Amino acid sequence: MKPWTLTSFKYGKSSIRIPLNSGCLRIHQTMELRVIKLFRIKLISKGTVLNKDKLLIDQGVKAGALLMAVILIENPDEIQNDMDRQKDLQSTFNDIDLLTGSSSLSEDVQIADQSGKNLTLPKEEKKALVTAMVLHEKGRAALEKKDYARALLFLLEADNRFNLCNSSLLNSVDNYAVLNLDIAWCYLCLESVTQLPDGEARLQKSERSLHQSYGANLERLLTIKGSTGNEKALFMRLHLLQGIVAFHQGKMQYSAALLDKAESELKSFKIDDVSLGTIIELGYTEKEARFGLRGAYGNVGEAVELINKRREEKKEAKKKNMEDKKNKKLGYCADGKQYVRSDYVDTLVQMGFIRSIVIEALRESNNVMSSAVNLLETEAEELSSRSMQPGTSRGVETDSSKTRNGLSPELLEQISSLGFDARMVEHALKKNNFNLEKSVEELLNCDGILEGVNLDELPLADLLPSKQHREQDEEDGALARLTDDIRDSASKDYFDLDFDLEETFLVKYKSLMNNN
C-alpha cells in the first residue's frame, strides 16, 4: 500500500497509509489525531473537492497521490461564522432550485457574450451557468478578504457547475477563463505546490479562452469595447502565474521570459502617488482613482472623465434595472410583447388619473400614451371594472399580487385604510361588480357594516395572500439575492486592484530565479 503525501497549506506535509477502498472520512479522522480537533477539513485532488462519504478510488484518487487539505477552522469562535457561510452556500443552491421551475430565471436573468448579445440557453444549462456565476462571485468576495481557503471552495464549486455547460458556451463568455485564473491564484496564495499540475491545466484553459474572447493582442476587445485596460490586468496575472508554474517545473528560461513580461505589464499599471492623491481630494475613492488613472494612462483630467462616465453608467444600469422590475410587475400589454411602462403610469397618475385604471388603459393601448389618455377620458368606468375583474390582466402583477377572486391587495388596502374592515371591503366590491366609487359610497352610507353580512362567515385568513402570491414573493426574493451577487463583468474589478500581492510574488520569484 503506497502512502499518500497529504499537504496542508498551514501544517505542511505528512504521509498517510490508507487503502484505496477507504473513504475521505478515514483521512479526516487521521488528521484530527495528528493536528487539531476543532476544524473542518476539505480534501482536494486535481482541482476537485473530494466527497467524504464516497470511496477514494471512486473519485479518481490513485496510490501515491498528492492531496491538498484545506483547514477551515482552527478557533472555536469561528465555528458560528463557518456555519453561517455554509448556510449562505446552501441558500444559494436553494434559491437556484426555487427558480428552476419558474419563468423568472428565463425572463429576469440574461446571459450575454463579450459583445453584449444575449445568449439563448436551455433551462438546465442556464441554471448551471447562473449558479456557477453566483458561486464565482462569492469566491471572489472571499478573495478580496484574503480568505483563500474559503475562496477556493466556492471557486471549485463554481467550476463543477461550469462543467455542466457545453464547451461552445464556455468559449462565448469570459467568466470561465477568469474562474480558472482565480483558482490558480488561490493555489499560489495557499502555497500549494501539490496542485501544480491542475494549476497549469487551468492556466492553459484560461489563456485559450481569453485569446478567443479578446484576441491574442486584445484586438477583438478593442473592436467590441474600445478599451483594453481591465483585461490587460487579467493577462498580467496570467503571465505571472505561468512564470511561477514554469519555475517550479524547472523551465527556467521560459519562466524568466514570462516573469519579465508580467513585470513589464505590471509597470504599466503603476500610478503616480501625487496624481492619485489629487483625484482622491476631489472626492473620489481610491479604487475609482486607480481605475481612472490606469484607464487614462496617468492623465488626471481624462481619469476624472472616465470615473464620472463609469459612475453614470452604473447609475443608468441601476435605474434601468429598477424600471424593468417595475414594468414586469405591471404585466404585459395586450400585444403580449411588451410590459406596461411604469414611467408612463407615473406620468398619467400625476395628471390625476387613478393608478389601477391607468395601468389597464396602457395595457389596452400597448403603451401608446395618446390612445391611453383617450381611453381614460371616454371609457374610465369600463377600464375600472376590467382592472378589478378576475383574469383580465395578462401580466405578472395580477398573478403575483392578487388575493383570491381577482382583488388587488393595493385596492383592498386603499379602501381599508379609510377605516373599513377588509372583509367588508371585499364583500362591497363583489356586490357592486368591483365598482370602486359605488363600493366606497355604500360602505360610507352603512358605517362600514353591510346589511346581512356576518363577519364570522368571512374569516380574515381568506384575505391572506394566495399560495401563488407567496410563491411569487419567494421567487422574487430568490431572484433578488442571486442577481445582487452577479456582477456585470467578470473582469471589471481586476483593474481596481493595488497589485501589491502580485508585485510581492514577482519580486520573490525573480529573486529565486537569480539565486539559481
* CATH number of the domain to which 199 belongs: 1.25.40.10
Provide the CATH number for the domain around residue 38.
Answer: 3.10.20.90
Same domain, residue pair 65 and 113: no
For residue 32, the model assigns a pLDDT of: 53
Same domain, residue pair 172 and 311: yes
**Integer-rounded Cα radius of gyration of the chain:** 30
- Phi then psi for residue 143, to 5 deg, are -60, -45
Q: Is residue 383 part of a domain?
A: no
For residue 23, the model assigns a pLDDT of: 64
Residue 49 in contact with residue 153, Cβ under 8 Å? yes
The conformation of residue 465, written as its DSSP 8-state character, comes to P
Same domain, residue pair 233 and 122: yes
> Which range marks the domain in which residue 133 is found?
78-315+498-515
For residue 165, the model assigns a pLDDT of: 84
Same domain, residue pair 134 and 234: yes
Q: Is residue 108 part of a domain?
A: yes
Q: Is residue 164 part of a domain?
A: yes
Cα separation, 499 vs 516, in Å, equals 26
Query: 372, 365, 397, 421: which is closest to 473 by C-alpha?
Result: 397
Q: Is residue 248 part of a domain?
A: yes
Q: Among residues 74, 93, 127, which one ends one of the domains? A: 74
Mean per-residue pLDDT pooled into runs of 10, the chain (516 residues): 42 59 63 48 74 78 74 60 68 71 56 66 80 86 85 89 81 82 92 82 89 64 50 89 93 95 90 92 91 86 92 86 84 87 91 86 93 88 70 42 48 71 78 74 82 63 51 68 54 68 94 86
Query: 205, 112, 211, 204: which is closest to 163 by C-alpha?
Result: 205
What amino acid occupies position 32?
E
Q: How many domains does the chain have?
A: 2
Same domain, residue pair 46 and 172: no
Same domain, residue pair 55 and 185: no
Same domain, residue pair 184 and 291: yes
Q: Is the dihedral of CA 452, 434, 447, 409 positive or negative?
A: positive
Question: Model-level pTM greater than 0.85?
Answer: no
Same domain, residue pair 46 and 162: no
Give residue 8's region: left, alpha or beta (phi > 0; psi -120 to 50).
beta
Same domain, residue pair 66 and 100: no
Q: Is residue 281 part of a domain?
A: yes
Q: Is residue 260 part of a domain?
A: yes
Q: Among residues 42, 74, 106, which one ends one of the domains? A: 74
* DSSP-derived 3-state class of residue 230: helix
Residue partners of 209: CB distance under 8 A and separation at least 6: 170, 171, 174, 176, 177, 180
Same domain, residue pair 137 and 193: yes
Query: 446, 506, 496: which is closest to 234 by C-alpha?
Result: 496
Q: Is residue 191 part of a domain?
A: yes
What amino acid occupies position 509?
Y
Same domain, residue pair 255 and 308: yes
For residue 242, the model assigns a pLDDT of: 95
Same domain, residue pair 119 and 265: yes
Report in angstroms the alpha-carbon separations of 197 from 47, 185, 201, 203.
9, 14, 6, 10
Q: Among residues 31, 50, 74, which one ends one of the domains? A: 74
Q: Is residue 43 part of a domain?
A: yes
Cα separation, 50 vs 27, in Å, equals 11
Read off the C-alpha cell for 77.
469562535
